[in-house]
Amino acid sequence: MKRTLLLILLNVVITVSILMAGTYLATSLVLDPAVQGLVDAARGLDADARNEIMPHLTRLDQLRRQAIFYAPVGFSAAAVIAAILLLPLIFWARRKPTVQDNTGQEKRAVPKAGDVHGDRKAAETGAIRLLSILQDKGRLIDFLEEDIKGYPDAQIGAAVRQIHEQCGEALREYITLAPVVSEPEGDPVTVPADFDASAFRLTGRVTGDPPYHGVLQHCGWKVTQIDLPAQPKGQTPRIIAPAEVAIGADGR
């Protein structure tokens, strides 16, 4: 902003300087010789004619002198007024660019650094909280981090059944899910012209412009409601599950 104001001030000074120099040159090279020529011509007239024309020449010379002073003042005032009128346009042009979302509503395209940091922190907190819940209710992290290559399929199947049930209950308790497309998988569907690219993944031979017609391979999922509990007060933000220590278990 300061740079813009300095540029405006510099333009005003340069413009006024050029106009003042132009006024001085025009007066010196054009008006002064013309007025002097009229005065010389009037001296060759008879006394009566000279006395009649000299007041007009004197007035013309006064106007010439006033023009040398008032013209730059007028130019300066005009330049300042123009700068003031241009300031709102400059401020408007310097605003952050905007884009339109798929609803036609205008939104900011370039968020502030503080907003981005806050959004990332909120997303990180929510993800950690969800992992903590799935670990607490269904031991999901234990299962994913366990090396199951040496276990028989029957034992793995029994463990997966329990984890599936417990994690599913935990997920449904705090998050409400719904399919993106309600039609059964395998049915023909139409992807509208104004489709949300984050809601549809197109595969196969995609040519031309939407709407597209195809077969639903997967319904997709979206969150309709989320109600994660707040992190317990005093808990370290990135701790998913605490280490469990049995005190006195060794008989001491």
User: Who wins on pLDDT, 47 or 156?
Assistant: 156
Tokens of 176: 């409400």
Which of these, 127, 165, 124, lies nearest to 143 by C-alpha position? 165
136 and 236 in one domain? Answer: yes
Please indicate, yes or no, if residue 7 is contained in any of the structural domains: yes
User: Who wins on pLDDT, 76 or 181?
Assistant: 181
Give me the pLDDT at residue 107, please.
47
Given a cut of 80, is residue 20 above it in pLDDT? no
User: Who wins on pLDDT, 116 or 191?
Assistant: 191
* pTM, 2 dp: 0.49
pLDDT, one tens digit per residue, over 70-113 is 666 666 666 666 666 666 656 665 554 544 444 444 444 555 55
pLDDT averaged over every residue in the chain:
77
Please indicate, yes or no, if residue 162 is contained in any of the structural domains: yes
pLDDT, one tens digit per residue, over 113-134 is 556 666 788 888 888 889 999 9
Give the range among 25-39, 172-186, 205-219 with minimum mean pLDDT: 25-39
150 and 44 in one domain? Answer: no
Give me the pLDDT at residue 186, please.
94
Which of these, 135, 226, 246, lies nearest to 176 by C-alpha position? 226
Task: Please report the sign of the dihedral spanned by the C-alpha atoms of residue 42, residue 43, residue 44, residue 48.
Answer: positive
171 and 205 in one domain? Answer: no
162 and 185 in one domain? Answer: no
Give me the pLDDT at residue 160, please.
92
Give me the pLDDT at residue 169, please.
93
Which of these, 137, 169, 136, lies nearest to 235 by C-alpha position? 136
231 and 164 in one domain? Answer: yes
Please indicate, yes or no, if residue 103 is contained in any of the structural domains: no
Q: Where in the sequence is the domain holding 160, given as residue range(s)?
A: 110-176+227-242
Instruction: Supply the Cα-derived Rg of the chain in whole angstroms.
Output: 42
Give me the pLDDT at residue 199, please.
94
233 and 135 in one domain? Answer: yes
Task: Please give the full DSSP string across 18-68, using - where no structure is assigned.
Answer: HHHHHHHHHIIIIIHHHHHHHHHHHHTS-HHHHHHHHHHHHHHHHHHHHHH
Distance of CA 161 to the CA centre of its chain: 48
Asked whether 221 and 180 are in contact (CB, 8 A), the reply is yes
How many domains does the chain divide into? 3
77 and 22 in one domain? Answer: yes
Please indicate, yes or no, if residue 159 is contained in any of the structural domains: yes
Tokens of 64: 């010439």
46 and 140 in one domain? Answer: no
Tell me how far apart the alpha carbons of residues 107 and 110 are, in angstroms, rounded to a whole number.
Answer: 9
Please indicate, yes or no, if residue 247 is contained in any of the structural domains: no
Please indicate, yes or no, if residue 249 is contained in any of the structural domains: no
| Average pLDDT of the segment spanning 184-200 | 94
74 and 139 in one domain? Answer: no
- The proportion of the chain whose per-residue pLDDT surpasses 90, expressed as a percent, equals 32
| Alpha-carbon separation of residue 8 from 76, 77, 81 (angstroms) | 13, 14, 12
Give the range among 76-85, 145-154, 156-165 with minimum mean pLDDT: 76-85
33 and 67 in one domain? Answer: yes
Give me the pLDDT at residue 120, please.
82
- The proportion of the chain whose per-residue pLDDT surpasses 70, expressed as a percent, equals 59
135 and 31 in one domain? Answer: no
231 and 127 in one domain? Answer: yes
Please indicate, yes or no, if residue 101 is contained in any of the structural domains: no
Tell me how far apart the alpha carbons of residues 104 and 109 are, in angstroms, rounded to a whole number.
Answer: 14
Please indicate, yes or no, if residue 105 is contained in any of the structural domains: no
Of 95, 119, 145, the last residue of a domain is: 95
